[in-house]
Amino acid sequence: MKAPYSPRDIVDFVVIGSGAAGGVMAKELSEAGFSVVVLEQGPWLKEKDFLHDEIKFTMHSPLTNDTKRQPLTYRENDSMKARPLKAIEYGRQVGGGTVHFTGNYWRFHESDFHERTLFGGVPGTGFADWPLSYAELEPFYTKAEHDMGISGLGGANPFEGPRSKPYPLPPMPAKSSGVLLERAAKKLGLHAFPAPVAVLSKPYRGRSACTSCGMCEYFGCEMRAKSSTLVSVIPMALRTGRCEVRPDSYVRQIRMDSNGRTNGVLYFDANRREVFQKARAVALCANGVESPRLLLNSKTSRAPDGLANSSGLVGKYLMWDNGAFVSGLFEEPLNEFKGIQVGRVLHDFYNADPKRGFYGGGGIDARFNFYPVSFGLGGLPEDAPKWGAGYKRMLREYFTRTMSLLSHTTSLPQLTNNVSLDPDMRDAWGLPAARITYSPHADDLATLRWIQPKQEEILRAAGAKRVWRYPVDEFGMSLHLMGTCRMGLDPKTSVVNPYSRSHDVPNLYIVDGSNFVTSARQQPTATIQALAYRAADRIIAESKRGGL
């Protein structure tokens, strides 16, 4: 069967979502000979749609979920009434969040997968080991790095697990912040290394190299140098002739037959017509909030609490995008707006240590965080004048001379943090909106308070004339959506098996950040994609044995 398909065709797979995981599933499954329809709720954009316009792309965020049409509600705990708030954000177009993300592409460490065993339990949480090891995932990290086009220096991070192959591309050019981070690291006995990033340092597979324009986070790449699924694996899927991507297709329900298997997906097309696409199997890759929401919205009389939810854990254990932020002022211009966002990283504070009295750790990156308008609004120290001649003078002095360090820290899985359906709010299609319930664990806050002074110390060691911090108890939107369909061996305590297959529905695969058992230290994209390659590999192997 060749694409395009008709809804009446029974395709092998419907893939819901075309982001980090959906793009990989589309490519792997179609290359293996399966017929695949990818349903993406957002538009299919091209390079010409991506501009250097800070007001449009960072303030109005057209590349992310639009809360006018898809409202979200938020509350701190379940005794409260949720109020409308864009508490989480995700990419909403073909390519999903890989289109507008910063491009950080760390592998998780070996310890991340069995940290519960190493560290011990944390009361009041679902802190657990993953049902797979780093070694099992390693070949799929490697595959992801080569398919996407990742730049980095293998072996430069002394804390990283063993790797079977070097990165396909050398690291990006050093920035001043990277040189300063290395200088500080040497003084303090730490280990800065070139950030592994989903950006091309050299031409790769028909795509041109990055020109260091500086507009990565929140922007789409105008020259296809950012290794989104939009420009890497999705074109490979399309070249098979067996994959069809349908943009502007908003899924409302995963349908079930009388045998407890899914038989396709009901969605709204661009004209809001309901379409039922028949399929032999479904890969749900809609992200850590939309995947559980869709499962909850797909409840049936046999699954009254939502599809794939016999454990009651669909939507539970939502983990957050935690991190502390500090900036420093230097004598000379760094011009951090030139080059990719993150140039150098260090992982010396990554591991948790029971001696500290709390669970947690983090990676730290040297990061350009403020385009001009956002710098004017929030880039200066808190005590700087907000207007007038003094403000204007400081803008001039600080913009080119500021360096920032962002840590990426742990978020413990708690049952009380979750995605559920809002009882009152509905989206523009009439579907119940996602309700986010979240409060950080005390250890998450302790970790932020512990790591932030280390970031300040690094900036001082680098020679900063002045260092200032941002509050850690005012947390922001979460962009890393993790934990809400966790993987595990036991169907009572997990939603999917170690290959991202639903325990309850044998032909439903749930593959995205929702599978994460722990948050590791954020930057989830590499691991989401490795899990997707592993899930696809298993599907292909099973189908050869007649399993699909």
**Site for another protein contains 212 (CB under 8 A):** yes
Tracing tokens 């070694």 back to the chain, one arrives at 135
The answer to whether 280 and 507 have CB atoms below 8 angstroms apart is yes
**Site for another protein contains 76 (CB under 8 A):** yes
Q: Which of 45, 85, 238, 461 binds another protein (CB under 8 A)?
A: 85
Q: x/- contact string, 406-425, with another protein (CB under 8 A)?
A: x-------------------
**Site for another protein contains 481 (CB under 8 A):** no
The answer to whether 503 and 495 have CB atoms below 8 angstroms apart is yes
What is the C-alpha separation between 481 and 418, in angstroms, rounded?
11
The answer to whether 278 and 8 have CB atoms below 8 angstroms apart is yes
**Site for another protein contains 378 (CB under 8 A):** yes
Q: Which of 310, 351, 416, 439 binds another protein (CB under 8 A)?
A: 439
Exposed, middle or buried, 425 (CB in 10 Å: 0-12/13-18/19+)? middle
Please report the sign of the dihedral spanned by the C-alpha atoms of residue 483, residue 253, residue 262, residue 7.
negative
Beta bridge partners of 525: none
Residues 380-409 that bind another protein (CB under 8 A): 386-389, 391-393, 395-396, 399-400, 406
Task: Kindly tell me which of 254 and 412 has the beta carbon lying closer to another protein.
Answer: 412
DSSP state of 239: H
**Minimum separation from the CB atom of position 89 to another protein (A):** 8
Q: Which of 312, 333, 423, 547 binds another protein (CB under 8 A)?
A: 333
Tracing tokens 């169907």 back to the chain, one arrives at 491
**Minimum separation from the CB atom of position 338 to another protein (A):** 4
Q: Which of 111, 176, 287, 514 binds another protein (CB under 8 A)?
A: 176
**176-188 and 442-461 helices cross at what angle (nearest 10)?**
100
**Site for another protein contains 133 (CB under 8 A):** no
* Tokens representing residue 199 in the block: 């950006």
Residues 221-240 that bind another protein (CB under 8 A): 222
What is the C-alpha separation between 185 and 159, in angstroms, rounded?
15
Beta bridge partners of 406: 325, 365
Q: Which of 43, 173, 247, 381 binds another protein (CB under 8 A)?
A: 173
Angstrom CA distances, 347 to 365, 366, 455, 518, stand at 9, 12, 12, 17
**Count of residues interacting with another protein (CB under 8 A):** 73
**Minimum separation from the CB atom of position 235 to another protein (A):** 23
Q: x/- contact string, 37-56, with another protein (CB under 8 A)?
A: ---------------xxxxx
**Site for another protein contains 62 (CB under 8 A):** yes
Phi-psi bin for 317: left (phi > 0), alpha (psi -120 to 50), beta? Answer: left
**Site for another protein contains 202 (CB under 8 A):** no
**Minimum separation from the CB atom of position 178 to another protein (A):** 7
**Site for another protein contains 348 (CB under 8 A):** no
Residues 284-323 that bind another protein (CB under 8 A): 323
Q: Return the H-helix or E-strand segment holding 419.
A: strand 418-426
**Site for another protein contains 259 (CB under 8 A):** no
